[in-house]
């Protein structure tokens, strides 16, 4: 295959394609069917996260070479698959991907005939093999270990999936599946070893809960510390500097100007987490009975006995509705001396995404104002001035859009304040940014 790949790339090279990476032997070896890295040119190795790869955006000759390399690699893979059906790394990946994306069986058979993907039967067989491997991985991750007193975190959420049928008939209708899904997050062994194991036991957790019954919550607990205030000031300065640099003025010496990126505080680990996906669970929707069925399904998938599952501390993440259903179920079963009835070992907390979602939504709604009152100067006025309809701003199910609108409003506010400080709010500014001395630029 390396010879065929070189022959095809030579044909492209004859048509005017020239690139220094073509002469690199490593680039040719990377085109081997067994080491297929999509979008790799030369020494650019993608950072892999599961089936997702992040590579540098290519332009010009590098982009043309990458496309030709991709075509040549695909041709080599088709030829190898035609000679040996077991040489099917690309075809198997495409068949599973096409099946997940809803490609019809007729189209997949045609692509299989061309050698671009495996058959539907092969895709289903591979998915069954992966599911068996996943079941074994879940049981291994949830197994009770003497060197880890706490169970892996289980994250669950509700999901709605619709299976749409185009040709409706009797007994063949569109179906909507509603049920919880989740994954098991195995804690980092290095983090576990750095903690005090006595504080991670179930007895220690229950004693801490008993102490919190008499604990009084004060507003001072939520106020920032002196260090947090300093970092908050740095964040605001960097945001203002970014708007000033982007829209109004450039400092004469950027190295001495206020940085547009705030200093890093407590940076979280960038290591790839170890997670195991749980099966989709068929449970009653939004009820205490449903959350009980979820626990029964989790215990069945984990391979543990009820005594083992309820005998150690089990942290879980979920949304607000799931936590309310869990508390309802626990209140119905209390008091009970048995762990499988009292659920005393389970500790639920709001997931980070749900917490950020609720906080951002509350802040945005509080400052949004009344769009029906023209005298109201809330945030909706900024969105209308920027050309975004105010009635579509707060989308409960679109967190990214909501954060994007908040960023635009903050940037517009900084922009107007900067123009007032620079005393040019009534002037028409050109496309070119003015250059200011660094001292004056920082003083603004």
Per domain, the residue ranges of the chain are 2-87, 150-166+174-188+273-349, 236-265+351-444
Q: How far apart are CA 353 and CA 359, in angstroms?
A: 10
So what's the pLDDT on residue 76? 87
Beta strands in 121-254 (DSSP E): 153-163, 175-186, 249-251
Pairing of strands 52-54, 153-163: unpaired
Q: How far apart are CA 2 and CA 31, in angstroms?
A: 7
| Nearest residue to 58 (alpha-carbon basis) of 73, 42, 74, 71 | 42
The DSSP secondary-structure symbol of 163 reads E
Residue 326: count of CB within 10 angstroms of its CB: 21
Beta bridge partners of 161: 177
**Residue in the structure block whose two tokens are 């979920």:** 318
Burial of 121 (0-12, 13-18, 19+ CB in 10 A): exposed
**Residuewise pLDDT in 10s, the chain (444 residues):** 788 888 888 887 776 654 444 444 444 444 443 444 344 444 444 444 445 555 566 666 777 788 888 888 888 888 888 888 888 888 888 899 888 888 888 898 998 888 888 988 988 998 999 899 999 999 999 998 877 788 899 998 887 777 777 777 787 788 777 778 889 999 888 888 888 888 888 888 888 888 887 888 888 888 888 888 888 888 889 999 999 999 888 998 888 888 888 887 777 777 888 899 998 887 766 677 788 888 888 999 999 888 888 888 899 988 888 888 888 888 887 777 666 677 888 888 887 777 888 888 888 888 888 888 888 888 888 888 888 877 776 666 777 888 888 888 889 899 989 999 988 888 888 888 888 899 889 888
Q: How many CA atoms lie within 13 A of 26 on its CB side?
A: 8
Q: CA torsion, points 326, 331, 333, 337, in degrees to nearest 10?
A: 110
So what's the pLDDT on residue 64? 79
Architecture of domain 150-166+174-188+273-349: 2-Layer Sandwich (3.30)
Q: Which residues contact 348 (CB under 8 A, 6 or more apart)?
A: 316, 317, 318, 322, 323, 326, 327
Q: What is the pTM of this model?
A: 0.69
């Amino acid at each position: 295959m390396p010879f065929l790949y070189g022959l095809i790339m030579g044909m492209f090279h004859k048509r005017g394609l020239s690139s220094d990476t073509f002469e690199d032997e490593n680039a040719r070896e990377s085109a081997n069917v067994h080491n297929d890295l999509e979008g790799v040119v030369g020494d650019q190795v993608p950072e892999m996260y599961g089936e997702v790869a992040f590579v540098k955006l290519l332009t010009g000759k590098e982009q043309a070479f990458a496309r030709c390399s991709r075509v040549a690699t695909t041709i080599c893979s088709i030829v190898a698959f035609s000679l040996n059906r077991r040489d099917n790394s690309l075809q198997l990946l495409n068949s599973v991907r096409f099946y997940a994306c809803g490609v019809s069986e007729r189209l997949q058979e045609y692509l299989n005939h061309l050698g671009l993907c495996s058959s539907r039967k092969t895709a289903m067989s591979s998915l069954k093999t992966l599911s068996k491997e996943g079941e074994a991985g879940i049981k291994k991750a949830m197994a009770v270990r003497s060197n880890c007193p706490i169970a892996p975190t289980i994250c669950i959420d509700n999901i709605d999936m619709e299976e749409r049928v185009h040709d409706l008939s009797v007994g063949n209708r569109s179906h909507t599946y509603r049920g919880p899904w989740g994954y098991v997050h195995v804690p980092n062994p290095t983090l576990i070893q750095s903690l005090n194991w006595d504080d991670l036991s179930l007895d220690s957790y229950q004693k801490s809960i008993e102490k919190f019954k008499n604990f009084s919550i004060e507003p001072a607990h939520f106020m920032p510390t002196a260090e947090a205030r300093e970092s908050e000031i740095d964040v605001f300065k960097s945001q203002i500097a970014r708007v000033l640099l982007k829209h109004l003025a450039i400092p004469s010496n950027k190295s001495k100007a206020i940085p547009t990126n705030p200093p890093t505080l407590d940076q979280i680990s960038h290591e790839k987490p170890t997670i195991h996906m749980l099966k989709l669970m068929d449970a009653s929707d939004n009820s205490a009975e449903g959350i009980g069925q979820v626990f029964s399904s989790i215990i069945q998938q984990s391979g543990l006995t009820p005594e083992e599952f309820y005998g150690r501390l089990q942290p879980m993440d979920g949304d607000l509705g799931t936590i309310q259903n869990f508390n309802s179920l626990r209140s119905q079963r209390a008091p009970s001396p048995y762990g499988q009835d009292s659920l005393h070992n389970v500790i639920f907390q709001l997931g980070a995404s749900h917490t950020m979602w609720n906080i951002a939504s509350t802040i945005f709604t509080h400052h949004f104002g009344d769009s029906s009152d023209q005298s109201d100067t809330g945030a909706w006025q900024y969105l209308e001035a920027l050309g975004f309809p105010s009635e579509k701003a707060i989308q409960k199910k679109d967190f990214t859009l909501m954060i994007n609108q908040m960023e635009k409003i903050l940037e517009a506010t900084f922009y107007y304040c900067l123009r007032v400080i620079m005393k040019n709010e009534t002037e028409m500014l050109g496309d070119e940014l003015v250059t200011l001395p660094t001292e004056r630029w920082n003083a603004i």
